[in-house]
Amino acid sequence: MKLSHSNKKRGFAVIIAMIAVTVLSLLAGAFAYSMKIETRLASNSNNDEQMLWLGRAGVERARWILALEAQLPFSSKNQIWAGGPGVGPETNGPLAGISLNDFQVGEGTVSLKLIELESKININAADTPLIQQVLTTMGVDASFMSLVADSVQDWIDADDGTRMAGAESDYYQGFNPPYYAKNAPMDDISELLLIKGVTPPIFKGGSATNDMGAAFQRHHLGFGYAPGQVPDYPFGLRDVFTPFSSGQVNLNTAEENVLSVLPGMNTLSLQSLLKYRSEFDSTMGGAPFMNVNQLGAAGVDPQVIPQLSRYLTTRGNTYEVHVTAKIGDYSREYIAVLFRNGANVDVFSFYWK
């Protein structure tokens, strides 16, 4: 069958029309998707100010809770701030029935998570014996003990004098890119990653490997294990240290790893302490310790109590607050650090994560 010239033209026209319709459909779909994204971005932008005020509202609620709990002579994980059922006057006072999750504020909701920083050791207040004790308990090779301890102290202190195994700015200036020793207290525990001798496994625990491109990977000196072998630590420095706290560790909230690294702590004393604490409330941690003098009653070795006591308290006054603000399906997390002095609770920092 022979097609006429006019039929061929009509066939080409149909094909061209189909192509044009397809292209226009694709463009219309892309435009609709773009408009959807733009609308969402505009909506999110409009929500930014509301989100900020939701975040601040969450911080104020945390301050209120901590101020009301200031009347108690201790702090523990079964109190309201930790999401517990409450202790003593909390159960029939203003905090009774208070929830930390999804409470309504204006058009949005806010959820809180409070972390008591006295449950860890303040790295800025840690002396050399304490840092070395932490490394010993982790199982870090002896070759690293003085190296890490001295380098941490050099990073924090205000002078440029270098300890025997430590490092100051002249050491860090040898890297590309170069940087300076801080010579001031740490503001973030991740600063440890910049310090001479602190390898990823020592910081993170486990058998962490070097992160590609991380500045601190150059500090791995290869001591303490065979070539190619990666150490496997039960925990890392980030699990026991914090840059903010009163400088003492709360007996009622500290995890086992933190308590185990305190100078003078032995296995029998640690087991007795944890058992005594858990008998009050095995699910929430309880609050058995009203003061450090109760260590003897808990079965802690009397010979080590004087040494342990200088590192311990039964009350926390420094808190990291995580505020999750939400409007519809849009959410944002804010973090604040609060200091409690009596019934006054001050905001040290507040930022969007």
Q: Give the DSSP letter of residue 290.
A: S
Q: Is residue 136 part of a domain?
A: yes
Give the count of domains, the chain.
1
Residues 6+ apart with CB under 8 A from 148: 131, 135, 140, 195, 196, 197, 198, 202
Q: Is residue 159 part of a domain?
A: yes
Q: Is residue 187 part of a domain?
A: yes
Beta strands 241-242; 121-122: pairing state: parallel
Could you tell me the CATH number of the domain that includes residue 197? Answer: 1.10.40.60
- pLDDT score recorded for residue 26: 76
Q: Does residue 18 carry a pLDDT above 50?
A: yes
- pLDDT score recorded for residue 177: 92
Q: Is residue 34 part of a domain?
A: no
Q: Which domain holds residue 235?
A: 126-239
Residues 6+ apart with CB under 8 A from 130: 121, 261, 262, 263, 311
Residue 106's nearest CA partner among 325, 330, 324 is 325
- Region 46-60: mean pLDDT is 91
Q: Give the DSSP letter of residue 80.
A: G
Q: Is residue 60 part of a domain?
A: no
Structure-model confidence comparison of residues 320 and 22, the more confident one: 320
Q: Is residue 142 part of a domain?
A: yes
Q: Does residue 43 carry a pLDDT above 60?
A: no
Confidence of residue 316 (pLDDT cuts 50, 70, 90): very high
Q: Is residue 230 part of a domain?
A: yes
pTM of the entire predicted model? 0.79
- pLDDT score recorded for residue 65: 96
Q: Does residue 213 carry a pLDDT above 60?
A: no
Confidence of residue 126 (pLDDT cuts 50, 70, 90): very high
Average pLDDT, the chain: 85
Residue 108's nearest CA partner among 351, 331, 322 is 331
pLDDT tens, residue by residue, 215-268 = 333 333 334 455 556 678 999 999 999 999 999 999 999 999 999 999 889 999
Q: Is residue 193 part of a domain?
A: yes
